[in-house]
Amino acid sequence: MTVDGFALAHLRRSPLGHLADRFAASSVPGPGGVRLRELPFLTQLNLRLDPTGPAAARAAEALGAPLPTGACQAAGTGALRVLRLGPDEWLVVGPDGAAPTLGDTLRQALGEEPGSVVDVSANRTTLELAGPSARPVLEQGCSLDLHPRAFGPGRCAQTTVAKVQVVLDQLDDEPCYRLLVRDSFAQYLADWLLDAAGESQAPLLASQSAGQSGGNAMKR
Amino acid sequence: MLLIACPWCGERDETEFHYGGQAHVAHPADPHALTDAEWGAYLFVRDNPKGEFAERWVHSAGCRRWFNVVRHTVTHDISAVYPAGQPRPNEQGEGTA
C-alpha cells in the first residue's frame, strides 16, 4: 500500500491487533477445544449485479469460482470466498492486498451491465472461531440454528452474534467459522467471544490443570 | 419475540428487523393536485385494524431487504410474507392490492 510513493503498510493497525496475546492464551487445543484469532485486513469487495445477466457468468469466470446461486450460500476456499448477501449482492473475500487487482477484474467482468463493485475492505475485520467447541461457543450469542442439519460449510448468514451485526461464514466441518464484524464493534465482539469461550472451556481447562498437561490454560 | 420469515434469509428473530408501518400506501400520482387535508391524510392517516394488517418490515440486521407481512394485530399470527411490490394475498376477500 502506497500513497505518493510512501509505504503505508507498516502504519496500519488492525482493530484487534492488540488482542493477539489474549486470543492465543484462550485457545485450547484438542477435542473440545476452541481457537480464536483475527484475520486482519482481508480484502472485501461488495459485488452487485443481476444474477441472471451475462455479467454474472463473466464474474464467476473472473473469480474462478461460481457465484453461489442459493440464498445465504457461500462458495470458494478460505483464500477466495464468495458470500451471497442478497438477491443481487455478493461479498467477495480475498487475501490482504488483493483489492485493486480483484476489483479491476470484477469491474471488467461487469462491463456495461448495471451493477457495482465497491471495495469495503476497511468496513469490517474478520474473527476466526474454530475447533470442536466453536459451535457451542457461538450458540451462546447467536439465535440461528447452527446444527449441521441446518447450517454447515458452504453456508453464510447475516445475523447478530451477541447483538452485534455480523456476516457469519462456515468454512469447514471442524467447524471453522468466520465472523466479519464492523471495526467499531470488533473489540466488543472479541471480548464477548473470549468470555464465552472461557465459560465453555472452563471444565476442560480445570481438568487439564488438575491432570497432567495443563499446558495451555486460559489466563483469564 | 416474533419469528419473522424473511423472504430471502428465512426465519429470524424479530430483533433483526425494523418495522415500516402500513404497506400498500401508494404515493399520490399528482401530489400538487391534492388539498392540504388529502396530503395530510396520505402522510399521517393509517389504518388501525383489530385483525390482519399488511405492514412493511426490513431485515436491517440481515439482507437489508424490504418486504411485506400480513400480521394479526391481536394474536401476532403472521399469515403471509411476500416481497415488496407484490399485491397482498387475498385470502378472505378483504385484502386490497
Quick: pLDDT tens for A67-101. Answer: 998 999 999 887 899 999 999 999 999 999 999 99
Do B46 and B22 contact (CB within 8 A), yes or no?
yes
Reading the block at residue B22, the C-alpha cell is: 402500513
Q: Look at residue A214 and tell me whether its pLDDT is greater than 90.
A: no
> CA torsion sign, A136 to A137 to A141 to A142?
negative
Interface mutation vs chain A, best among B63, B64, B65, B67, most A CBs within 10 Å: B63
Evaluate whether A126 touches A176 at the Cβ level (below 8 Å): no
Residue A51, pLDDT above cutoff 50: yes
At residue B15, what is the residue type? T
State how far the Cα of A26 lies from the Cα of A35, in Å rounded to an integer. Answer: 7
B8 interface with A at CB cutoff 8 Å? yes
Residue A203 has what pLDDT?
62
Q: Check CB contact of B64 with chain A, cutoff 8 Å.
A: yes
Q: Which residues pair with A142 in a beta bridge?
A: A161
Q: DSSP string covering B3-50, please?
A: EEEETTTEEEEGGG-EEEEES--PPPS-GGGS-HHHHHHHHH-----S
Beta bridge partners of A94: A43
Predicted confidence at residue B84, as pLDDT, reads: 92
CB contact under 8 A, A87 and B13: no
pLDDT mean across residues, chain A:
88
Quote the pLDDT of residue A213: 44
- Give the pairing of strands A35-39 and A43-49: unpaired
- Give the mean pLDDT of A43-54: 94
3-state secondary structure string, A81-147?
EEEEEECCEEEEEECCCCHHHHHHHHHHHHCCCCEEEEECCCCEEEEEEECCCHHHHHHCCECCCCC
Domains of chain A: 15-208 (3.30.1360.120)
pLDDT at B40 over 50: yes
**Closest residue by Cα to residue A97 from A170, A175, A18, A7:** A7
Q: Which three cell numbers, joined as nine digits, stand for A37?
A: 484469532
Question: Quick one: pLDDT band at residue A149, thresholds 50, 70, 90?
Answer: very high
Helix, strand, or coil (residue B72): strand
Per the model's pLDDT, the better-predicted residue between A30 and A110 turns out to be: A110
The answer to whether residues A195 and A189 touch, using CB atoms and an 8 Å cutoff, is no
Structure confidence by residue, pLDDT tens digits, A197-206:
988 776 666 6
Q: What is the mean pLDDT of residues A42-54?
A: 95
Among A46-55, A126-135, A193-202, the least confident range: A193-202
Burial class from Cβ neighbours inside 10 Å (0-12, 13-18, 19+) for residue B29 reads exposed
Q: Which of B10, B16, B63 sits opposite A85 (nearest CB)?
A: B63
pLDDT band with cut points at 50, 70 and 90 for residue A209: low
**pLDDT digits 0-9 by tens, B41-86:** 999 999 999 999 999 999 999 999 999 999 999 999 999 999 999 9
| DSSP reduced 3-state for A181 | strand
pLDDT of residue A200: 73
The closest of A40, A26, A7 to A178, measured between CA atoms, is A40
Contact between B65 and A86 using a beta-carbon 8 Å cutoff: yes
- Scan residues 139-178 of A and list those with Cβ closer than 8 Å to B: 143-144, 157-160, 163, 165
Using 50, 70 and 90 to split pLDDT, how confident is the model at A207? low
Q: Residue A65: how many CA atoms within 13 Å on its side-chain side?
A: 20
Which grid coordinates are listed for A172?
469447514
Shortest Cα distance, chain B CAs vs residue A85, angstroms: 6
Q: pLDDT tens-digit profile of B4-14?
A: 999 999 999 99
Instruction: Quote the pLDDT of residue A11.
Output: 87
Average pLDDT on A168-196 reads: 95
At B78 the pLDDT is 95
How far, in Å, are A57, B16, B72, B88, B93 from residue B76 at the CA level?
43, 17, 5, 17, 20
Say what the pLDDT of residue B95 is: 45
Name the 3-class secondary structure at A151. coil
